[in-house]
Structure 1
Amino acid sequence: MDWTLEVVVVPVSDLDASVAFYRDRVGFHLDHDTDAGFGRIAQLTPRGSGCSVVMGTMPNLRAMPPGTQHGLQLVVADARAAHAELVGRGVDCDEVVVLDERDGGTLFGFRDPDGNSWTVQEIRARAGQPLIPRADDA
């Protein structure tokens, strides 16, 4: 049986501001923003990812205090290009650090408006071999 990780909850204090941050600054695709009557939920997905982030006002999405999700990780083929893209969109990013010259050893971080933290890791092999084949590559 396959077990796939497809959604991670990101606890936020202001849903509108967070959707704008992840969509407009980080570049995630807004899959849906739904008002269920008793609460609102938004789901966003990074391009090329099989896992999305969910945030909202429903009680189960408020179990963690805003800003307490740490250790989330994104993988890109070129960390310096990703860093420049995010900084160009107004995201406050840490400097790119090379911990190891081997593939996978180049990283930088950023935080959302609530302080939830992300690490961006460079894996150059993703340029030619994405984990999930892109529709435009078919």
Structure 2
Amino acid sequence: MKVTLISILVRDQEKALQFYTDKLGFIKKKDEPLGGGNRWLTLVSKDWPDGPELLLEPAPNHFEPSKVYQDALKDAGMPWTQFDVDDVEAEYERLTGLDVEFSVKPTEMGPVKFAILDDTCGNYIQLVQTL
């Protein structure tokens, strides 16, 4: 068994696509129309193009419980998911240069350094570097 797809709830698929590709550097893998303005829209890491796909899931627009959960996580300051990076400080500097907002600046905690960014689509995302 292996993980091949991970969903991130987003309120606007096109806005999320622009953020995750232009700012975070992901690559679009699939973009299939599903009707009603929705798409099966997946991304992959440029460093791991055959790795797990990230599905930009428009559920908060159609399923109220998912919107409530997304809002509760963000209100609590909790990230939706985490992405591993080689150097949190370098990513923080690169992304703040692209006007990405962070709720937590690079912080060391035990064997990791992390930072938390706002994806502009309803989520906090944690960047993690193993020290």
Category of TM-score, reference length = shorter chain: 0.7 to 0.9
Q: CA deviation at 1:76?
A: 1.2
Instruction: Report the 3-state secondary structure (helix = DSSP H, G, I; strand = E; otherwise coil) of the residue aligned with 1:31.
Output: strand
Identity %: 19
Cross-structure match for 1:84: 93
1:1-138 equivalences under 5 Å are 3-37=1-35, 39-49=38-48, 50-57=51-58, 62-63=62-63, 64-65=66-67, 68=70, 70-93=79-102, 94-100=104-110, 102=111, 105-123=112-130
Paired residues, number:
118
Change (3 A) 1:62 1:55: farther
Which whole-Å deviations, capped at 9, do the CAs of 1:38-65 have from their partners, x for residues lacking one? 54121012233422211245x6x95522
Q: Which runs of 5+ in 1 are unaligned?
A: 125-138
Aligned-residue Cα RMSD (Å) equals: 2.6
Higher strand proportion: 2
TM-score norm. by structure 1 comes to: 0.71
Q: Do the aligned partners of 2:86 and 2:129 also contact (CA within 8 Å) in 1?
A: yes
TM-score norm. by structure 2 comes to: 0.74
Structure 1 counterpart of 2:21, one-letter code: R
Q: Do the aligned partners of 1:31 and 1:43 also contact (CA within 8 Å) in 2?
A: yes
Partner Cα separation in structure 2 for residue 31 and residue 11 of structure 1:
17
Q: Which runs of 5+ in 2 are unaligned?
A: 74-78
Cross-structure match for 1:127: none
Partner Cα separation in structure 1 for residue 91 and residue 29 of structure 2:
22
